[in-house]
């Protein structure tokens, strides 16, 4: 069972600061499901960095929680419906107040969903869903000793905060997901397999004017805009040897990607001036600009790729 936690003492900071804290905290705790159960209880580790931690969800798997721009609500994905107290084998999108009250489902209840975020203004949501391809949860991936992401046929949707006025923004029969909205409220960045590889794209709020930003062989995803909407930070795996490229493409053909080695990159919002800011061979997750837009934070894991043995949060000047 995954518990989604927040730092209670950050109840009313500025909106941008709230979003940064939310993202970092959410990813740290959403990664705990990768840890073997005994690893969480054997040594009884003591939290050294956060105080006044509150548990907001009970039951099932809950992950990827993000604050609204005004810091009053959270959006998250859950495999446990707190309204009916039933569990599913895949996720739906929910919203709640930051104290855990007023939980509402925002997605259709069909298929599986991922990557829910708020639009600026808090009246609409953005998320990805497979419900138009199948009303059922996608088949579970075959067992592997390495952690893999299945690349299901997600489309990107926007909707009102109550789930009404659902609008389909992408219609390619491939993976379209990991979408976020620029703070200025005009542009969406997302990952797509529409051209045969996992690249980053931008589009307008209506799904038009799609522009490809990355073309390197490999996975590019998890992108977020800077507070001024002029830059994008993202994670990437670019295999460098013929053997690594072949292995990556073989997995891609089976609709999987292995995030065991990810580095952090930044670029301008139009895809220019790409810069790699980590090079440590580890799985660097959760890149995000701080409210000042001058540094990016990330979550690093090490040890066997199937289990998280170490994790930390670091800040990098760029």
Contact 280, 266 (CB under 8 A): no
Contact 140, 89 (CB under 8 A): yes
Query: CA 201 to CA 190: how far, in whole Å?
Result: 5
Tokens, residue 254: 């089976």
Tokens, residue 258: 């292995």
Contact 141, 150 (CB under 8 A): yes
Query: CA 173 to CA 187: how far, in whole Å?
Result: 22
pLDDT bin (cut points 50, 70, 90) of residue 317 is low
Q: Sheet of 124-129: strands edge to edge?
A: 113-118, 124-129, 155-160, 167-168
Q: Which residues contact 2 (CB under 8 A, 6 or more apart)?
A: 29, 30, 32, 33, 57, 60, 61, 62, 63
Predicted confidence (pLDDT) per residue in 249-289, tens digit:
999 999 999 988 899 999 999 999 999 998 888 888 889 89
Largest pairwise CA distance in the chain: 52
Half-sphere exposure of 75 (CA within 13 A, CB side): 29
Predicted confidence (pLDDT) per residue in 211-236, tens digit:
999 999 999 999 999 999 999 999 99
* Residue 67, domain CATH: 2.120.10.30
What residues make up the domain containing 33? 5-317
Predicted confidence (pLDDT) per residue in 64-95, tens digit:
999 999 999 999 999 998 778 889 899 999 99
> How many domains does the structure of the chain reveal?
1
Of the candidates 61, 37, 34, which has an alpha carbon nearest to the alpha carbon of residue 307? 34
Contact 79, 64 (CB under 8 A): no
Which residue bears the tokens 């990330």? 298
Predicted confidence (pLDDT) per residue in 297-306, tens digit:
666 655 544 4
């Amino acid at each position: 069972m995954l518990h989604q936690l927040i730092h209670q003492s950050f109840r009313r900071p500025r909106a941008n600061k709230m979003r940064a804290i939310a993202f970092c905290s959410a990813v740290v705790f959403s990664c705990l499901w990768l840890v073997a159960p005994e690893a969480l209880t054997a040594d009884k580790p003591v939290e050294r960095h956060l105080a006044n931690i509150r548990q907001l969800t009970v039951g099932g798997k809950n992950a990827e929680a993000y604050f609204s721009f005004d810091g009053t609500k959270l959006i998250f994905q859950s495999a446990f419906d707190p309204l009916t107290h039933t569990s599913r084998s895949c996720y739906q999108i929910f919203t709640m107040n930051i104290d855990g009250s007023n939980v509402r489902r925002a997605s259709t209840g069909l298929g599986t969903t991922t990557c829910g975020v708020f639009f600026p203004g808090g009246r609409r949501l953005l998320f990805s869903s497979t419900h138009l391809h199948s009303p059922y949860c996608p088949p579970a991936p075959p067992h592997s000793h390495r952690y893999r992401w299945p690349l299901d046929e997600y489309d990107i949707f926007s909707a009102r905060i109550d789930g009404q006025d659902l609008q389909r923004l992408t219609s390619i029969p491939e993976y379209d997901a990991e979408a976020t909205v620029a703070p200025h409220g005009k542009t969406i960045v997302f990952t797509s397999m529409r051209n045969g590889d996992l690249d980053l794209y931008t589009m307008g709020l209506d799904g038009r004017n799609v522009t490809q930003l990355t073309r390197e062989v490999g996975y590019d995803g998890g992108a977020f805009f800077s507070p001024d909407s002029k830059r994008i930070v993202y994670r990437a795996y670019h295999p460098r040897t013929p053997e690594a490229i072949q292995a990556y493409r073989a997995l891609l053909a089976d609709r999987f990607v292995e995030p065991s080695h990810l580095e952090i990159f930044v670029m301008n919002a139009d895809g220019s001036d790409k810069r790699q800011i980590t090079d440590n061979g580890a799985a660097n997750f959760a890149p995000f600009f701080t409210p000042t837009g001058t540094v990016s934070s990330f979550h690093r894991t090490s040890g066997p790729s199937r289990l998280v043995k170490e994790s930390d949060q670091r800040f990098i000047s760029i």
